[in-house]
């Protein structure tokens, strides 16, 4: 049975793009940027670039403390957009996460030591000290970095 003109038109107008909310910046260095979830703008990306769209948002990387980290073979450089899966709240050892420490957003590699303590590590060309988390600290995981959308290089 052939599709009606109305159905054909509707399916041809469906966009293969999604708008991901950009909720601010996250430090790739010491946690100094205040974490607010105000939508600053939207990043339009092909839906083919994302494994899912539910619970997804973006933050802009600020700093160089994660410039050796790789997500899908892409490094995290200052100004890049990081795609965060906010449904991923129980990170595995060595995941790269968006964490909130004393209301400051930061991107780091999550390490859980054998004693249960948490260390947030940089993957950088420079030496940045780790952040050690005590169980009584105001700290939580806001999601896992699942992709990097590189800042365009203008020559």
CATH number of the structural domain spanning residue 53: 2.10.109.10
pLDDT-flagged residues of the chain (< 50): 1-12
Residue 141 lies in a domain: yes
The pLDDT, as a whole number, for residue 75 is: 95
- Out of 5, 10, 65, 155, the active site residue is 65
Residue 79 lies in a domain: yes
CA distance 58 to 78: 14
User: Taking the model in full, what pTM does it have?
Assistant: 0.82
Residue 35 lies in a domain: yes
Residue 28 lies in a domain: yes
The pLDDT, as a whole number, for residue 95 is: 97
The pLDDT, as a whole number, for residue 8 is: 46
Examine the residue annotation and report whether 108 is marked as an active-site residue of this protein: yes
The pLDDT, as a whole number, for residue 122 is: 94
Task: Please write the tens of the pLDDT for every residue from 103-113.
Answer: 888 999 999 98
- Out of 99, 108, 122, 144, the active site residue is 108
Alpha-carbon torsion 99, 74, 42, 14, what sign?
A: negative
**Structural domain span for residue 63:** 18-149
The pLDDT, as a whole number, for residue 36 is: 56
The pLDDT, as a whole number, for residue 30 is: 58
């Amino acid at each position: 049975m052939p599709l009606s003109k109305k159905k054909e038109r509707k399916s041809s107008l469906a966009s293969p793009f999604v708008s991901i909310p950009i909720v601010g910046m996250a430090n790739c260095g010491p946690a100094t940027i205040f974490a607010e979830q105000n939508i600053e703008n939207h990043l339009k990306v092909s839906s083919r670039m994302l494994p899912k769209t539910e619970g997804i948002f973006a933050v802009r990387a600020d700093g160089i403390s994660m410039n050796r980290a790789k997500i899908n073979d892409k490094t995290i450089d200052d100004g890049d957009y990081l795609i965060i899966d906010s449904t991923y709240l129980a990170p595995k050892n060595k995941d790269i996460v968006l964490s909130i420490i004393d209301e400051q957003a930061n991107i780091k590699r999550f390490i859980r030591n054998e004693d249960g303590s948490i260390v947030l590590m940089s993957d950088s060309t420079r030496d940045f000290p780790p952040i050690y988390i005590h169980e009584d600290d105001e700290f939580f995981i806001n999601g896992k970095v699942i992709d990097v959308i590189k800042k365009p290089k203008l020559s």
